[in-house]
Amino acid sequence: MKIEYEPYHIGSKIKFYVDKITLISKLQNYYNGKFEDYEVNPNPFNRESFLIPTITILSNDIDKIFIQVNLSGNALNIIGNEPKTVYKAFETLLESLHEVGYDLKSTFSFYEIITNIILTLEIEINPKDIFKKITLPKFTQIHNISDIMVNQIKFSNRFTLAESEERFEMEIYPNLTNPEHSIRLRILNRKLDPDKIKEVHNNIEDFIKDFYQKLLKD
């Protein structure tokens, strides 16, 4: 099995009363004087930025990291393809926010890891067979339509969703660019405490491997 992240995302939900323009300005000024690896976007608020909800404020070409603000979603996001470098950038970001005068509990409502994962399966495993396992036998034929199967499924620890509470979600669906050899997972894990995000990050690969083993069982 091969695991690829496309991408790995750690987001922080900005509280409604936080002035995002001031937050961006303080972060850019701080990074510009302290971190040589990061490039500051000199004009994040150009005319086009108000048409596109997400703007890049800082980027790191070495680690391929982007720090972005979602203006409509009130979120400060770190995005990359390598979990270790994304989490390291997240820790640096939280420390930097503290240095420029932001108390985390007063600034953010929650934190979340969101990632799309491609699992390339062992050669003898057919992704379609995995989805057939998930399908209940009584639904394999519905009103004269045969060969019915689940081709997308979503798990959650919440039956109904509330933005302000902790939440886990996982979706499984075919990887459309390579459906014969891989499947795609989308995982969202939301926590109210950034220390819990560290725990989620540290355990995510073991979680994926354990889930994969459960998929293979009869």
Band of the pLDDT at 131, cuts 50, 70, 90? confident
Closest CA to 76 of 44, 34, 47: 44
DSSP state of 50: G
CB-CB contact of 56 with 66 (8 Å): yes
Give the pLDDT confidence of 45-64 residue by residue, as tens digits: 765 555 678 899 999 999 99
- Cβ neighbourhood burial of 82 (10 Å; 0-12, 13-18, 19+): middle
pTM of the predicted protein model:
0.90
Domain spans of the chain?
A: 2-216
The string of DSSP codes covering 157-187 is: S-SS--TTS-EEEEEEEE-TTSTTTEEEEEE
DSSP state of 138: G
Which of residues 77 and 132 earns the better pLDDT score?
A: 77
Closest CA to 76 of 57, 92, 52, 103: 57
Distance CA 88, CA 83 (A): 9
